Amino acid sequence: MAFVIIGGGVGGCGAALELADAGYPVTLIERKEYLLSGSSDTTPCRLGLGFHYADSETALHCLKTTIHFIKKYRDFILAKDLPEMHPYRRTRYFVVKDSSFSLDHITTVYDNLRKEYIKLISEDPSNEVLGPADVFCRPLSKTEYSQWVNEEIVVAGFETAEQVLNWPIFKEHITHLVEHHSQITVYKNTEVIDVKQSEDDTGFDLEFLRKCSNKNEKMHADFIINSSWHNIDSINRKVGIFMPPNSRTNRVKAIAQIKLPPNFEKSGPVNHMFFCFGPHCAFTNMSDNTAFITYEPVTNVEYSTECDFPQSLTHLMDGLVTEEEKQQYGQGILAGAIKYIPNLKGATVSEVRFGNVRTNGTVNISTLDSGHHSRRGLGVTEKLIDWIDNPCLKLVHFLENAACIKKMIGQHALANQHLTKIVLALTSPLTNPIKSSILEQVIRKQLQIYHSTEELINHADDISNKMAHIVEHKSKLRFLQPAPTKAYAKFNRGCPH
């Protein structure tokens, strides 16, 4: 079975490794020159434990996912050889006076996180990857943070066990695994031009441009995993998968890398910091006299719920940004961050990167009912039989996404068996091979459009009987009319649990 994964970000690379390790041959197509160089490379490196979410369910899922990630990749933790209580291995969360959520609400969420960590350790002692439960999260006195933050805007502070990923080393590691795996073929600097279902509806035919040779090539895929992130919807439309209006939001973000002022840490190492909840500030200390900072009013460049990614933002995502533009965003972010961390005065902007955050539904970070505050689920969905969308909504989700995809592939294989049985049952009575072939294509198309894998597996007999009734009673002319392509939008099932 030929698997093609479109998109070489963390989601695509994770899926490729999961399937390749299971023995499947995989082709990975990446539009850029390097793997993990798009939005995946625009990361503040925080291994979030859920403290930046006001929704308990989202926060708890974030905690579990990150623990799973750290258990597998603990060697890629920044400052991993320092003591657990060292500031470089602790993140401080500050609740500001104009927080979108009350201190009582936030304290409840944090208490739920602490209880869940205790529960996870009791279920499996190997889950204690964040230190003892009694230091998982603790309130701070003002004397512990007054020299670092603007006290006038802070209501309360908490120190958490949240750590930071050494992204450059991790990126190098994952890239090496993918590019040297015997079961993975990598096409970099390659753009998918067209995708269509094969004429016999068994798989897909792709056309893509190899930019290095400026030549178009073609390939057949039995199964496609669309991990192309902000381009995911444009790829889907090539095979008739249409996104319902306002079903997701693309939020283009800018993150600034700064060189810290000379005396910033003269009194000792400084923790990572996050100011919440709402459009505020975050600071990630990379322990090498540099840091990543965000200031949401500037960091959030633009929101879009359009089906097509806005052309006005494409140059940001493609790295076609002038130094003047970078400095404009970088200086704006730094000026905003200084309002929260005054000691950043004297810092200089060394780099600005742009990435995309994808959220289900409509998003406005400043409103209480925004989907930004409640990001549940993985985003993995089946769109057609043998087609799965894999937008990795959080970097640390990529392991869970990959495992979910492998499980779904098993479901798709079983659904295909039932689909073939239904087709054979309906076409075998026909003696005319031409009519049989035409009818087979029509039935297969109808089944793929209107029935999920779960329905084909659990209700094959009922579906077969209904299709037989249609074949028997509807005229050939009406039956052979193509189905409306936008019906594909209804086929949108998540990972089976």
Question: Helix, strand or coil for residue 495?
Answer: coil
Residue 194 C-beta-side C-alpha neighbours within 13 Å: 8
- Asked if the model's pLDDT at residue 461 lies above 90, the reply is no
- Asked if the model's pLDDT at residue 21 lies above 60, the reply is yes
Nearest Cα residue to 393 out of 384, 385, 382, 381: 381
Residue 140 is predicted with a pLDDT of: 97
Selection from 41-50, 184-193, 372-381, 388-397 with the highest mean pLDDT: 184-193
Q: How far apart, in Å, are the Cα atoms of 419 and each of 197, 413, 468?
A: 16, 10, 13
Structural domains in the chain, CATH included, are 43-165+245-375 (3.30.9.10), 410-482 (no CATH)
Q: How far apart are CA 89 and CA 82, in angstroms?
A: 8
What is 451-473 written as a DSSP string? --HHHHHHSHHHHHHHHHHHHHH
* Beta carbons of 291 and 258 less than 8 angstroms apart: yes
Pairing assessment for the beta strands 154-160 and 137-140 based on DSSP bridges: antiparallel
Nearest Cα residue to 142 out of 129, 130, 158: 158
Nearest Cα residue to 52 out of 102, 94, 80: 94
232 vs 345, residue with greater confidence: 345
- Asked if the model's pLDDT at residue 212 lies above 50, the reply is yes
Average pLDDT over residues 278-299: 96
Per-residue confidence at 244, pLDDT binned at 50, 70, 90? confident
Q: How far apart are CA 242 and CA 244, in angstroms?
A: 6
- Residue 477 has φ and ψ, to the nearest 5°, of -60, -45
Which pTM does this prediction carry? 0.88
Q: How far apart are CA 296 and CA 291, in angstroms?
A: 16
110: which 2 tokens?
A: 């944090």
Per-residue confidence at 414, pLDDT binned at 50, 70, 90? confident
Triad 473, 477, 481: Cα angle to 5°: 105
Q: Comparing 40-49, 328-337, 478-487, which segment has the lowest mean pLDDT? A: 478-487
Residue 480 is predicted with a pLDDT of: 44
- Asked if the model's pLDDT at residue 482 lies above 60, the reply is no
Q: How far apart are CA 45 and CA 79, in angstroms?
A: 13
Average pLDDT over residues 151-169: 96
Partners of 290 in the β-ladder? 259
Q: How far apart, in Å, are the Cα atoms of 242 and each of 70, 233, 488?
A: 36, 7, 7
Residue 473 is predicted with a pLDDT of: 62
Which pLDDT tens digit goes with each residue over 438-454? 777 777 777 776 777 88
Per-residue confidence at 413, pLDDT binned at 50, 70, 90? confident
Partners of 74 in the β-ladder? none
Residue 223 is predicted with a pLDDT of: 95
Long-range contacts from 278-283, C-beta under 8 angstroms, 24+ separation: 278/96, 278/98, 278/99, 278/100, 278/365, 278/366, 279/365, 279/366, 280/96, 280/340, 281/336, 281/337, 281/339, 281/340, 281/341, 282/44, 282/46, 283/337, 283/340, 283/341, 283/344
Q: Quick one: CA torsion of 339, 41, 372, 29, rounded to 10 degrees?
A: 160
Q: How many percent of the chain have pLDDT more than 70?
A: 88
- Asked if the model's pLDDT at residue 213 lies above 50, the reply is yes
* Beta carbons of 477 and 486 less than 8 angstroms apart: no
What is 374-434 written as a DSSP string? ---S---EEEETTEEE---SSGGGHHHHHHHHHHHHHHHHHHHHHHHHHHHHHHTT---HH
Q: How far apart are CA 106 and CA 440, in angstroms?
A: 57
Average pLDDT over residues 418-430: 79
Residue 478 is predicted with a pLDDT of: 43
Per-residue confidence at 370, pLDDT binned at 50, 70, 90? low
Residue 248 is predicted with a pLDDT of: 73
- Asked if the model's pLDDT at residue 323 lies above 80, the reply is yes
Q: Quick one: CA torsion of 122, 82, 277, 103, rounded to 10 degrees?
A: 60
Q: Comparing 1-5, 186-190, 249-253, which segment has the lowest mean pLDDT? A: 249-253
Q: Which distant-in-sequence residues (6+ apart) come within 8 Å of 476 by Cβ?
A: none
Q: How far apart are CA 309 and CA 294, in angstroms?
A: 23
Q: Comparing 241-250, 287-296, 325-334, which segment has the lowest mean pLDDT? A: 241-250
Residue 338 is predicted with a pLDDT of: 98
* Beta carbons of 406 and 1 less than 8 angstroms apart: no
Residue 489 is predicted with a pLDDT of: 42
482 vs 312, residue with greater confidence: 312
379: which 2 tokens?
A: 């985003």
Average pLDDT over residues 29-56: 91
Residue 227 is predicted with a pLDDT of: 95
* Beta carbons of 38 and 32 less than 8 angstroms apart: yes
Average pLDDT over residues 197-219: 90
Q: How far apart are CA 61 and CA 74, in angstroms?
A: 19
- Asked if the model's pLDDT at residue 371 lies above 70, the reply is no
- Asked if the model's pLDDT at residue 464 lies above 70, the reply is yes
Per-residue confidence at 398, pLDDT binned at 50, 70, 90? very high
Residue 457 is predicted with a pLDDT of: 84
Average pLDDT over residues 460-481: 65
Largest CA distance in the chain: 88
Average pLDDT over residues 102-126: 97
* Beta carbons of 224 and 386 less than 8 angstroms apart: yes
* Beta carbons of 493 and 452 less than 8 angstroms apart: yes
Mean pLDDT of the chain: 87
Average pLDDT over residues 5-25: 96
